[in-house]
């Protein structure tokens, strides 16, 4: 028995229990990845996740056995916990009532009734004379997307169990509506209503998931040439995943724009969640109808932009609509904005798309860049040279 096989035998197990933990093994090469899989098969151990392009294998480890000896093996690049992920949405039980502010950020009366205040606030309709996002492929990496009269779903995948990518939570459907609701019902139009919308179901019916599923979802997006990925979730307990960051970097190298919600930890936490904190993403904070930064919106270094995120009406399960709050709702405004910009200016690089979005934002008074980044997303001048 080889040394690696002996180590795997001592560390890994077939059956999850209270005495096991989910761990991600990243190998250094395709050859070592294949060899490790063969060893596990010989030992009768079936990984819960394999992603060949990342040389990643997910296994259950015995918590009473140290994995240090495995990490030191020359075939192994790293071993890391399969961290838990949670959606950044907060369901509103009661609508929040506000006095609409006066000033230049008011919703123009000329906008159609099917365009909600938040879509008007980011000036999306002003870009529609140039494009509504046609030809751009947008992936919603979330709880899936449910069938809805106001959504046109092009395709997708379920990376949890290979089943349906239909939403069984509501969060992903809500996010999708902010990006791409078509307005066909006359009730709701999203930022970029003509994009090709893809559901990548990586979070379960509770809005929870694991880094391993997110990585597989990102890998699918790369393989299927997505242009923009929306990620309205964060790693729990302020933990940090190098394995996830490597997957994000790989997608960035392929020219994919990735937009992520900053988090819902408010003013006291002091930093934003991963993956929003990764420099390869555009991190988005949440604002209110009164142009304030929402109290729940995380503050910290790395925020790129702000977009509406409180009391946002969008598509929901069973063909209905719901009002939800969270930086989860802010992120898809920027995702839709990036899609519009790519559709109208297809030759732009990822760096240039980000630069234009940040350049055209409006600073909200009384808030630092740690709260709002470059300011409130504005899409009315994104095509200007």
Which residues are marked as active site?
Answer: 142, 171, 328
- Nearest-angstrom CA–CA distance, 236 and 238: 6
Cβ-count burial of 117 within 10 angstroms (0-12 exposed, 13-18 middle, 19+ buried)?
Answer: middle
SS3 at position 66: coil
Rounded Cα distance between 59 and 56, Å, is 10
Of 328, 326, 281, the residue nearest 303 (C-alpha): 281
- H or E segment at 56? strand 56-62
3 state SS for 333-361: HHHHHHHHHHHHCCCCCHHHHHHHHHHCC
How far apart CA 116 and CA 121 sit, in angstroms, is 9
CA distance 246 to 236: 18
β-strands 20-27, 56-62 pairing: antiparallel
Tokens 């002003």, located at residue: 126
Burial of 333 (0-12, 13-18, 19+ CB in 10 A): buried
Q: Which residues contact 281 (CB under 8 A, 6 or more apart)?
A: 231, 248, 258, 259, 260, 275
8 Å CB contact between 284 and 303: yes
The backbone region for 186, taken as left when phi is positive above 0, alpha when psi lies in -120 to 50, beta otherwise, is left
Where would I find the beta strands (DSSP E) of 128-195?
A: 137-142, 153-158
DSSP per-residue string spanning 104-122 = TTSPPTTS-TTS-HHHHHT
Half-sphere exposure of 360 (CA within 13 A, CB side): 24
| β-strand pairing of 49-51 with 196-201 | unpaired
């Amino acid at each position: 028995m080889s040394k690696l096989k002996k180590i795997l035998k001592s560390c890994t197990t077939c059956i999850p229990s209270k005495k096991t933990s989910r761990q991600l093994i990243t190998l250094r090469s395709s050859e070592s990845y294949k060899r490790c899989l063969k060893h596990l098969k010989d030992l009768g151990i079936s990984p819960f996740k394999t992603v060949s392009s990342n040389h990643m294998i997910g296994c259950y480890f015995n918590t009473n056995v140290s994995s240090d000896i495995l990490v030191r093996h020359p075939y192994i690049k790293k071993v890391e916990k399969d961290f838990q992920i949670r959606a950044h949405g907060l369901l509103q039980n009661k609508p929040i009532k506000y006095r609409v502010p006066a000033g230049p950020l008011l919703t123009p009366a000329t906008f159609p009734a099917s365009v909600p205040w938040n879509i008007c606030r980011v000036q999306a309709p002003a870009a529609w004379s140039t494009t509504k996002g046609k030809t751009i492929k947008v992936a919603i990496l979330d709880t899936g997307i449910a069938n809805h009269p106001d959504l046109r779903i092009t395709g997708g995948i379920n990376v949890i169990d290979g089943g349906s990518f239909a939403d069984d939570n509501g969060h992903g459907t809500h996010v999708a509506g902010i990006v791409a609701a078509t307005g066909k019902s006359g009730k709701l139009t999203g930022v970029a209503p003509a994009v090709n919308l893809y559901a990548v179901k990586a979070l379960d019916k509770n809005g929870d998931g694991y880094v391993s599923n997110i990585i597989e979802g990102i890998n699918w997006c790369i393989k299927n040439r997505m242009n923009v990925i929306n990620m309205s979730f964060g790693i729990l307990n302020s933990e940090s995943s190098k394995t996830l960051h490597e997957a994000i970097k790989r997608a960035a190298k392929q020219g994919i724009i990735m937009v992520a919600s900053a988090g819902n930890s408010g003013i006291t936490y002091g930093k934003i969640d991963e993956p929003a904190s990764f420099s390869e993403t555009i991190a988005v904070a949440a604002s209110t109808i009164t142009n304030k930064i929402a109290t729940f919106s995380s503050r910290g270094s790395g925020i790129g932009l702000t977009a509406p995120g409180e009391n946002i009406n969008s598509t929901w399960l069973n063909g209905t609509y719901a009002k939800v709050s969270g930086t989860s709702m802010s992120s898809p405004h920027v995702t839709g904005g990036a899609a519009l910009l790519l559709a109208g200016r297809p030759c732009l690089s990822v760096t240039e798309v980000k630069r234009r979005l940040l350049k055209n934002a409006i600073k909200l008074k009384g808030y630092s860049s740690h709260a709002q980044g470059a300011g409130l997303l504005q899409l009315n001048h994104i095509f200007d040279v």
